[in-house]
Structure 1
């Protein structure tokens, strides 16, 4: 089975909202063991490609991303980029195209109207952020179900220098999250707010195919089942998820003493065309270390 088909199958039915808040939606998340931030580091440092890279420079120039981002504060520029890309390529539960780069994803949709799943959207969004000098990650969000996750979603974590923190951003929904005081939240903070029952504020411009995103359905039904474990590529760069002929490294954050998945396309494996190495940690401070 082709790699891009296997990847797609993990994230199908992303928009299967239940319409009401299920009683057990957050039960698994709230009962999960805590992280253990005293564990030692067992994985390489995360890296972020410079915006001076030839491919990223081309991406920035072709789509005039400097103009799109504007000259406001860094968080405003990131939000402008998120909104622009959200309107370039819509989400659909389809097979990923073989070459997953921002330019190819955008141009494929423009020429054929072939949309992308959340995985492809997050990859493209990541390259756009990198091209504009933002340190950014692809973040794969899974449930605790093994070997096949019961629901998965892929979003982005973007470092905002003025705030000195990572920020949750979802190109599928044009979504970012704040607390009741107006503070932008990271993925880790959104997860903890869900566990604690603290208020979450979804931006009013969040939408799916032009229909406003329902906060309760999106955060509590949908993301509530998908924030048990997180996986990030070690190296955030252009065409980072192209596998053939490469060794790809990932780090997976799991609650302490959670059972590691026996098999996943992200777990350590060797094929004829590529090699995957996955490191595991229960130290969230190391996993979410600032760039």
Structure 2
């Protein structure tokens, strides 16, 4: 079966960071250009995205335990989100270690502080997401993959966080401490970054983007790394505390966005896999407007 999301979730996603990896050519951008189009008329056949309230007991405990109100500060919604991003980036560094059995922000951060076990991009994005949710931001994790799903060459996981003052959800990456802007200085969503790269428009990284303290360039991050992984996207339909921990009897539901013409199961259908670790149900769509719908 093509979609093996239930196999991907328990494993730390490799984020292709070593210099031993061959630098991708313009072939990845060409593939992205061929997959530019989406089907704008496909109907909604899946549940709506939901975002857990910051009043939830677990999110409240998370917020209070790490004094996230103080971390965020009292500035604009954008500055507060950026402060939280930078805090999480420093709290747990990236390494492609094994995933923890309990994937919550508390456990991910605690494990690093007590055992110095860093985490892959998937757990980092999970922790970041719960931090955003605890502070009242409507956020979700977004798993980014290449065109070849069965051999995605690692993939990458980031966050899409809604900023009310901008009326859009922004690209934020805790692994690299990254947010992105266009040539005019406007903050960009994940969909806008993808479109700008295809169109050859300017995309700029924040100046303090880095990996383990080493400055990250737009050339590396966008051209050599992310362009390959902006072909298809997967996101949980329920954004909540402890939503990504697998457990017997638990069902996790996801939506996958694939370009029009991309190899995929019949749209309007879904796939379900159940084993001793619970069930994973994945819907598919080619309608980008439905996938990127803001809260």
Question: TM-score, normalized by length of structure 1?
Answer: 0.93
Structure 2 counterpart of 1:246, from 242, 245, 250: 250
After TM superposition, the structure 1 = structure 2 runs for residues 228-267 of structure 1, keeping only pairs within 5 Å, are: 228-244=231-247, 245-260=249-264
Q: Distance in 2 between matches of 1:198 and 1:178?
A: 11
Distance 2:241 2:136 in 1: 13
CA contact (8 A) 1:8 1:117 kept: no
Is 1:271 the counterpart of 2:275 in the alignment?
A: yes
1: CA distance, partners of 2:264 / 2:6: 23
* Residue of 111, 114, 122 corresponding to 2:114: 111
Deviation at 1:20, TM superposition (A): 5.7
**For 1:7 and 1:273, how far apart are their aligned partners in 2?**
11
Quick check: 2:49–2:239 contact (8 Å CA) kept in 1?
A: yes
- Larger mean Cα displacement after TM superposition, 9-18 or 33-42: 9-18
The aligned residue for residue 184 of structure 1 is: 187
Aligned partners of 2:42 and 2:157: how far apart in 1? 26
Match of 2:149 among 146, 150, 153: 146
**TM-score (norm: length of structure 2):** 0.92
Give yes or no for contact 1:142–1:152 (8 Å, CA) kept in 2: yes
Equivalent pair of 1:19/1:217 in contact (CA under 8 Å): no
Work out the CA distance in 1 between the residues paired with 2:32 and 2:99. Answer: 29
Matches within 5 A, 1:1-291: 6-7=8-9, 9=11, 11-16=13-18, 22-32=25-35, 34-244=37-247, 245-260=249-264, 268-291=272-295
Sort the Cα spacing of 1:115 and 1:30 in 2 relative to 1 into closer, same or farther, 3 A.
same
Structure 2 distance, partners of 1:216, 1:268, is 38
Query: Partners in 2 of 1:33 and 1:217 — Cα distance?
Result: 22
Shift of residue 9, structure 1, vs aligned partner = 4.8
Go from structure 1 to structure 2 and tell me whether the alpha carbon gap of 1:33 and 1:181 turns closer, same or farther (over 3 Å shift).
Answer: closer
Structure 1 unpaired stretches of 5+: none
* Contact 1:82-1:174 at 8 Å conserved across structures: yes
- 2:128 is paired with a residue whose SS is helix
Aligned residues: 286
Unmatched tracts of structure 2, length 5 or more: none
Contact persistence 1:4–1:98 (CA under 8 A): no
Contact kept in structure 1, 2:258 and 2:285, CA below 8 Å = yes
Once superposed, which parts of structure 1, at least 4 consecutive aligned residues long, lie more than 6 Å away? none
Q: Distance in 1 between matches of 2:78 and 2:237?
A: 24
Tell me the SS of whatever aligns to 2:28: coil
Checking the alignment, whether the CA contact within 8 Å between 2:122 and 2:157 is kept in structure 1 is: yes
1:157–1:169 CA contact under 8 A, matched in 2: yes
Counterpart contact for 1:146–1:261, Cα < 8 Å: no
